[in-house]
A and B are shown apart, each in its own frame.
Chain A
Amino acid sequence: MDTAGTELVVEGLWLMVIGMTIVYAFLMMLVGFLTLMSKAVARWAPAESLPAIPPAAAPTAPATGDARLGAVISAAIQAHRTRHRP
């Protein structure tokens, strides 16, 4: 019984080695696959990633806020000047 028990544990160890190898192999292939997919999408279907470009300008997001404000202010000044020119 005892030897049968240890045999079973050894079998479990094998299962662990094989199991973890397959899990790792599978997920690593998925990593490669997903990376390829993302590259392909970025290359062949850039139209899809177009909506992503305005957020890519996000680093300047506070600036765009300022720019918009600036635009509004200058437009207001412009309007004021044209109205008060005569």
Chain B
Amino acid sequence: MDAILTLWQSTGIANVTWRELLMLLVGVGLIYLAIAKRFEPLLLLPIGFGAILSNIPVAGMAGPEGMIGMIYHVGVETGVFPLLIFLGVGALTDFSALIARPSTLLLGAAAQFGIFATLIGALALNLLPGFNFSLADAAAIGIIGGADGPTAIFLASRLAPDLLGAIAVAAYSYMALVPIIQPPIMRALTTKAERSVVMEQLRPVSRLERILFPFAVLFLCALLLPSAAPLIGMLTLGNLLRESGVVERLNRAAQNEIINVVTMLLGLAIGSKLSGELFLTTQTLGILVLGAIAFAIGTAAGVLMGKLMCRLTGGKVNPLIGAAGVSAVPMAARVVNKVGLAENHHNFLLMHAMGPNVAGVIGSAVAAGVLLALVGP
């Protein structure tokens, strides 16, 4: 009889709590979004499955002795995984649009306003009962506005590890929602004439320029903002692998094998942070709401900066490309292209939007470096 009782007590049914059940459902929900709706499936699927595995009662897979807990410890706590993803992003990104028209960097800078506005929003939420965000928490929430998954995870793992699960899920789900969040804001802030501005073709960029570019970025970073060096350093290394043209094998590994393996492990590790006690709080709800606001403000700031540049250049810049200043490569640039095409069927803005788009990646890495330097431990 005792044996049966012991056996019963080791089953999942006897040990499950309502929180774990709910989180299992959240995990299933994320997987549903990934498979049926194709929302960032590369990340949401492993995150969802990680959430399911971590909330299996008794198994303790997310604990310090569990498999996923160890992956988290090795890859996320140390910040190594998001940095390896940045290596892959660097190898995948063609910066020539940015080199051909460096002024688009300013659009990437403007869109980072969303980060800081959200930071204040998070602090203002403290005035409501049920919220207690520290400055570091608020900074980690704000970085969702950078629309850059790896940067958000890197910063959150440094500043607010407890909120990592909610921040990562918010960052990646809103990135999938870019085509829904951005167009209404872009249309509201621009006139029909501005949207149909045709931009002149970009000049060709020589190979030497593309090879020197990573060094230029890294040099400035080392000089002015060493706290952003891990992010910028890996990004520029990846880009140099790509542009040097002599290490095709490493380039291909960074673009495919490394980024794929790390994405899977990172997803599992983040899923382990979706445990009942940490996720089912009013704070999570606040983070989800703030994340959407962050995206909206970042988009608006980018478009407004685009309008300013349009005025200053005498109508040579289409303000829509400012919206691509929130990173979300290449989704945001595609959205810009689509909205532009809706006004003028022959106006392809994709290449022009890639400039601010990749500038946004550098911009959010810089913003992350600033936040690390100012509120970091």
Hey, which bits of chain A sit against chain B, CB under 8 A? 2, 5-6, 8-9, 11-13, 15-16, 18-20, 22-31, 33-35, 37-38, 41, 45, 48-49, 51-52, 55-56
Give which listed residue, A2, A26, A41, A49, contacts B225 with CB less than 8 A.
Answer: A26
Interface centre among A9, A18, A48 (most CB of B within 10 A): A9
A12 B359 Cβ-Cβ under 8 A:
no
B209 in contact (CB, < 8 A): yes
A44 to chain B, nearest CB (A): 9
B225 A22 Cβ-Cβ under 8 A:
yes
B247 in contact (CB, < 8 A): no
User: How far, in angstroms, from A16 to B297 measured CA to CA in the complex?
Assistant: 14
B135 in contact (CB, < 8 A): yes
Q: Give the A-B pair count, Cβ closer than 8 A.
A: 117
Give which listed residue, A25, A27, A41, A55, contacts B209 with CB less than 8 A.
Answer: A41
Q: In the assembled complex, which residues on chain A have CB atoms less than 8 Å from the CB atom of B116?
A: 15-16, 19-20
Question: Could you say which of B16-24, B210-218, B233-241, B327-335 contacts chain A?
Answer: B210-218
A-B contact pairs, 16 of them (CB 8 A): A8-B123, A8-B135, A9-B126, A16-B116, A19-B112, A19-B116, A19-B367, A20-B116, A22-B366, A27-B109, A27-B362, A28-B105, A35-B102, A38-B99, A48-B207, A56-B204
Within 8 A of A (CB), among B87-101: 98-99
A27 B106 Cβ-Cβ under 8 A:
yes
B118 to chain A, nearest CB (A): 10
A8 nearest in chain B by CB position: B123
A11 B99 Cβ-Cβ under 8 A:
no
Give which listed residue, B102, B119, B204, contacts A15 with CB less than 8 A.
Answer: B119
A34 B216 Cβ-Cβ under 8 A:
yes
B106 A28 Cβ-Cβ under 8 A:
yes
B144 to chain A, nearest CB (A): 15
A12 B106 Cβ-Cβ under 8 A:
no
B206 A55 Cβ-Cβ under 8 A:
no
A52 B109 Cβ-Cβ under 8 A:
no
B122 nearest in chain A by CB position: A12
A68 to chain B, nearest CB (A): 21
A45 B106 Cβ-Cβ under 8 A:
no
Hey, which bits of chain B sit against chain A, CB under 8 A? 98-99, 102-103, 105-106, 108-109, 112-113, 115-117, 119-120, 122-124, 126-127, 135, 138-139, 204, 206-209, 212-213, 216-217, 219-220, 224-225, 359, 362-363, 366-367, 370-371, 374-375
Give which listed residue, A11, A28, A33, A56, contacts B216 with CB less than 8 A.
Answer: A33
B212 A26 Cβ-Cβ under 8 A:
no
User: How far, in angstroms, from A52 to B207 measured CA to CA in the complex?
Assistant: 10
B267 to chain A, nearest CB (A): 29
B127 to chain A, nearest CB (A): 5
- With A12-B120, A13-B120, A38-B209 as given contacts, are A26 and B366 in contact (CB-CB < 8 Å)? yes
User: How far, in angstroms, from A33 to B213 measured CA to CA in the complex?
Assistant: 10
User: How far, in angstroms, from A34 to B362 measured CA to CA in the complex?
Assistant: 14
- With A19-B116, A35-B102 as given contacts, are A30 and B220 in contact (CB-CB < 8 Å)? yes
User: How far, in angstroms, from A25 to B108 measured CA to CA in the complex?
Assistant: 12
User: How far, in angstroms, from A83 to B214 measured CA to CA in the complex?
Assistant: 60
Of all A-B residue pairs in the complex, the 8 with the closest CB atoms, nearest first, are: A16-B116, A34-B102, A48-B208, A12-B123, A27-B109, A12-B120, A52-B204, A48-B206
Q: In the assembled complex, which residues on chain A have CB atoms less than 8 Å from the CB atom of B212?
A: 37, 41
User: How far, in angstroms, from A6 to B367 measured CA to CA in the complex?
Assistant: 24
B269 to chain A, nearest CB (A): 28
A21 to chain B, nearest CB (A): 9
